[in-house]
Structure formats: C-alpha cells, structure tokens
Structure 1
Amino acid sequence: MTDFFFALLDPSSSFLRLALMAGTLASFSFGIMGTYVVTRRIGYLAGAIAHCVFGGIGAALYLKHRWGLTWLDPIHGALISAIVAAVIIGLVSMKAGEREDSIIGALWAVGMAAGLIFIDLTPGYFELSSYLFGDILLISRQDILLVAGLDLVIIALAVIYHHTFQAVCFDEEFATLRGINTSFFYILLLVMTAVTVVLLVRLVGVIMVIAMLTLPAAAASTLSRRLSTIMVLAIVFSLLFNWAGLALSYTLDLSTGPVIISVAGLVYLGLLALNRLLPTRE
C-alpha cells in the first residue's frame, strides 16, 4: 500500500491522481442515488439502464469512426442512451403491469446487442473490457470536468427535491394524495439514476454497475434506518470502496473495477454478519 501513496506523489503518475479525484467526486452521486435506488427497490431498473448504455457507447463509436464525428466521445452516447432508456423504462414500469419484467428484460438484452452490432460495424479494433468492466485509470482531465458537472446536477436536484423523492420512495400513494406528481418525479429519479450509471460505467463498467450503485447504500442501511443518515454513510462507504479498491489494485497489479466491487461486497457481507450478531440499529 505504501507504493500507492508514494506513486500519488510522483509527478509522472498523474493518471492515479485523476483516478482518485474521479472516484472521490463520483462517490457523492453514488451514495445519494444508491440510497434512493435501494429504498425504492429499483436496482433491476438501474441494471436495465446500464445495459442500454452499451448501445449508446457502440453507436457513438460507430458515428465517430464511420462518419468522422471526431468530437463525439463514447461517454456522450452513453449519456444520451441512458436518459432515453430511463424515460422508456420508467414509462414501461408504470404502464406495462404484469408484463413489466418481460419488457424490461428485452430492453436490457437489446441494449447490449445493439452496442455489439454497432461495434462490429465500426472499422478498427476496440478493447471492450474497459467499457464492460471499467478502467478508472484511463480517466482524463476532460472526464473529470464531465464527472464534476454531472455530480453537481445530481446533488442539486437531490437537495432541492429531497423530501419529494423521499415521499415517492416510501409512500407513493400518500404522495399522490398530497398533490405530488409522482409519475414525473419517478421518471426524474430514474433519469438521475441514469446519469449516475454513466458515471459508474467510467469506473467499474457496464457489468458491475448495479453492485457499485447498491452496495454502499445497502451497507449503510445495516447501520441505520434514517434515510438522511443512510445517504451520508453511503457516500462515506463509496469513498472508502473507491480509495481502497484503487490502492489495492495498484499494489497487487489487478483490474481496478473488479477490486472496488470485491472490497464493497466483502464489507457489505461483513456488516450483514455483524448485524446478525448485534441486531440493534439507530
């Protein structure tokens, strides 16, 4: 671990400092949105959005290399496809009734398939592992600005509409009776989740998005029942998972995304076991 800390001070290791900065900034969104996702129990919807993101990544690569849109970055395609998928999946989940699982499962699969087809049609070779499993060490200064911008949007909306989101998550019927447009705020919650998913794809990839979105909040929920406390603890856990995963992966020469997820999973399982022994919570 000491190698990692010395490497952070090395002028030639700017990629490590950028990775640490990205993980730190994004952890605020992860903790906030993860709490809503776990509370509202929409992890499977977040998973569907994440897999649709791959379609946007493939489309952006195709347009960039086949049509010469050099300014287009895969993250732009990911963001557009995530937001579109969030709106479609939100409408489906509200209107489809008993067919909801089948339709969302189909969107999940089609999103991945579309991404692979676009990549097959794109000239050249692309290393898909960085998109599927993430590679935080490839974060650039431009990515940091994008992460910071999306982070500010998520935090601002969460602060402004916190009580409304809380009502939608815990008692949608009561919120509707109070005159809250629950359909709109449910879709907005999914769009915010979609933006957070795009941030996660840069860190841990499409495959492991659900884990990093839910594990910090799930770990926090073993320590408290109060939503605001869970949210703060989820941010802290997300920070710790990102920092520890980055340090361990650098020290052991392993892929960063899977190490971050492994750390998060072990901590969560440890807290679950501890919670069984000491069941009292705040």
Structure 2
Amino acid sequence: MLDTLLWWLASPLDYGFMRRALAASIALSLTAPVIGVLLTLRGLSLMGEALSHAILPGVAVSFLLAGFSLPLMMLGGLAAGLVTVAVAGGISTLSGLREDAAMASLFLVAMAAGVMVMSLSGSPLDLGHVLFGSILAVDTPTLMLVALAGSAVLVTVAIAFRALVVECLDPTFLTLQGRHAGWFHALFMGLVVSTLVVGFQTLGTLMAAGLMLLPAAAARYWSRRLEGMIAVAVGMALASSVIGLLGSYHLELPTGPCIILLAGMGYLASLLAGSRGGLLQRREPARLPADATLPRHRGRP
C-alpha cells in the first residue's frame, strides 16, 4: 500500500515538464490566495473574476503583434488590467456607480474584444491556450518569470501589509494617519491584476481567479483571524494544486480544471463542515459546560 502511494506521488516527477508544472503551481498557490483573502475582506470577490477576463485584450494584442512571447503577453495583460481598473475607478468617481458594478460592465466588453482580436490570428488552438492555460507546457524561462513575478507580489504585500489591511477595513482612519487611502487601493488593485497575469499562463484567463478566490472563500469557515485565513487559504491552494496536478497525470485529465475542481470541492467541504459558521456547526444545539447549572426561577422551590 505504501509502495503504491509512493509510486503515485513520485512517478510523475520523473519528467521535467511535471517538475516545472509542480513548481509553477506551488508559486501560484503561495501568491494568489493571499491576495484572494484581502479581496474577499473588501467584498470585491467578483471583481477578481472580472479582472481575470479584462486582461484578455492585452494578451490578445501582444500575441497578434509579437506571437507567443510570454513576457510581452504578460505585459500586455498587465496593461489591459490596469487600464480597466483605472476606467472603472473613473466611472465610479464621476457617476457614483459602485466600482464593482462598473467593472462588471467593462469586463464583458474587454473579453469580447479579446476574443475578437484572438480570432484574427486564425488559430483557435492559441485562443484555447490563452483562455484555459497549459500548465504542463511551462518551460524554464516561463517558470522563472512566474516565480519572480509572484515573489515581487508577495514582497510588496509584506511591505505594505498593515496599510493594505487598514485601508480594507477603515480607509478614513488611514487618511487621518496622513496616508492617502486611494493610493493604497490603487496599489492593491495593481497587485490583483499582477497576480492574475502570473496565473494566466498556468490556468488561463478564464480560470486564473479560481485559485485566488475559492481557497480564500473557504478559509473564512475555518478562522476569524486574518493570519489564520491566509494560512488556511494557502494550505488549501497548495493541496488543490499538488493533488490536482498528480491526479490529472494518472487519470489523463486536463490539469487546470482538475486543480480548480479540487479547490471547489474544498470550498464546499468548508461550507458544510467548517468550524466557523459551517452548515453542520450551525445546526448543532448549544451545549452547556459540564459544571454549568440551570438558573432557578424565583418564587419556586
């Protein structure tokens, strides 16, 4: 039994492409859930999904102009995402419309424009690669780029962590401390876009937000502390990535969907059995401590 388990875990790593895919998935799992937790605390989870589609036009234009050059495609996606964030913020400021509502309107237009541009290349295979990713096709330069970009995101979060959390919970207080909350909001949205751009090579623009949002949403059912939520979210993302990657190899299934489906199963399990607001925990009757006594009504023996 143990030999079978060791073979199941180790045999895929005999191949270089599996080792690179594992390293890329681990790098993404260490980055995306941290941003996802902060995003869910702000009540902007759907904005992450919208931004994952909004980077498509930049990726498509870069591909059309320079072919399959990952650095240029990532720069194009980053530019498209930042422009979408800026336009959504401008619409929200000028019209009073909520920023997430403005983003929902823009990402549909952006995604349609991206698909239209990709279709001009005449290769539906390339469109599928951009939309759904190909983690097994990660080469060494791509892996280094993903690792460096992910590390840059984590270092930025670590440096500005306190300000990002305060801006999330009470932007007015941050302003009273002499720091403009709007700058930190812009910084955070830039980090969201950067994380999605890092993930599009492995999971594609359609599923890049999955590893960001699903573990973060599940973590809220296990902890009420920010540090605890981040730890749980990262742990669930790592488990989903590793098990999904190995399972897809042995079962001959697409890797990206396997990873996201496992993350979704983790969310459903947390919703059901989580110790902090899970459905089963809510249905349990309140139990008195062993040394507790029931109050006695006055006037009765």
Q: Same fold (TM over 0.5)?
A: yes
- Structure 1 segments unaligned to the other structure (5+ residues): none
Task: Describe the superposition over 1:199-225 as per-residue Cα deviations: whole angstroms up to 9, x where unpaired.
Answer: 221222222233321111111111111
Residues 144 and 93 of structure 1: is their aligned pair in 2 closer, same or farther, counting only changes over 3 Å?
Answer: farther
- Matched residue SS, 2:234: helix
Partner residue in 2 for 1:276: 279
Residues 220 and 30 of structure 1: is their aligned pair in 2 closer, same or farther, counting only changes over 3 Å?
Answer: same
Of the candidates 55, 60, 69, which is equivalent to residue 53 of structure 1? Answer: 55
Residues 170 and 131 of structure 1: is their aligned pair in 2 closer, same or farther, counting only changes over 3 Å?
Answer: same
CA distance in 1, matches of 2:169, 2:87: 23
Structure 2 length normalisation: TM-score?
A: 0.83
RMSD: 2.3
- Matched residue SS, 1:179: coil
- Structure 2 segments unaligned to the other structure (5+ residues): 285-301
Partner residue in 1 for 2:146: 147
Task: Describe the superposition over 1:2-37 as per-residue Cα deviations: whole angstroms up to 9, x where unpaired.
Answer: 4452121x2xx1110000000111212112101111
Residues 167 and 88 of structure 1: is their aligned pair in 2 closer, same or farther, counting only changes over 3 Å?
Answer: same
CA distance in 1, matches of 2:264, 2:179: 36
Moved more, 206-215 or 230-239: 206-215
Of the candidates 12, 32, 39, which is equivalent to residue 7 of structure 1? Answer: 12
Q: Matched residues, percent identical?
A: 30
- Matched residue SS, 1:7: helix
Note the C-alpha offset of 1:95.
4.5
Structure 1 length normalisation: TM-score?
A: 0.88
Counterpart AA for 1:59? V
Written as runs of structure 1 = structure 2, the 5 A alignment for 1:66-105 is 73-98=72-97, 100=99, 103-105=102-104
- In the alignment, is the contact (CA less than 8 A) between 1:4 and 1:250 conserved in 2? no
Partner residue in 1 for 2:235: 236
Residues 94 and 18 of structure 1: is their aligned pair in 2 closer, same or farther, counting only changes over 3 Å?
Answer: farther
Residues 164 and 91 of structure 1: is their aligned pair in 2 closer, same or farther, counting only changes over 3 Å?
Answer: farther
Note the C-alpha offset of 1:244.
1.1
- In the alignment, is the contact (CA less than 8 A) between 1:19 and 1:139 conserved in 2? yes
- In the alignment, is the contact (CA less than 8 A) between 2:44 and 2:100 conserved in 1? no
- In the alignment, is the contact (CA less than 8 A) between 2:38 and 2:168 conserved in 1? yes
Of the candidates 14, 17, 20, which is equivalent to residue 18 of structure 1? Answer: 20
Larger radius of gyration: 2
Partner residue in 2 for 1:187: 186
1:216 is aligned to 2:228: no
Counterpart AA for 1:185? F
- In the alignment, is the contact (CA less than 8 A) between 2:85 and 2:103 conserved in 1? no
Partner residue in 2 for 1:110: 109
- In the alignment, is the contact (CA less than 8 A) between 2:64 and 2:121 conserved in 1? yes
Note the C-alpha offset of 1:73.
3.9
Residues 265 and 61 of structure 1: is their aligned pair in 2 closer, same or farther, counting only changes over 3 Å?
Answer: same
Residues 14 and 71 of structure 1: is their aligned pair in 2 closer, same or farther, counting only changes over 3 Å?
Answer: closer
Residues 97 and 22 of structure 1: is their aligned pair in 2 closer, same or farther, counting only changes over 3 Å?
Answer: same
Note the C-alpha offset of 1:174.
2.5
Note the C-alpha offset of 1:72.
6.2
Residues 22 and 64 of structure 1: is their aligned pair in 2 closer, same or farther, counting only changes over 3 Å?
Answer: same
Report 1 or 2 for greater relative contact order, CA contacts < 8 Å, sequence distance ≥ 6: 1
The number of residue pairs the alignment matches comes to: 274
Partner residue in 1 for 2:203: 204
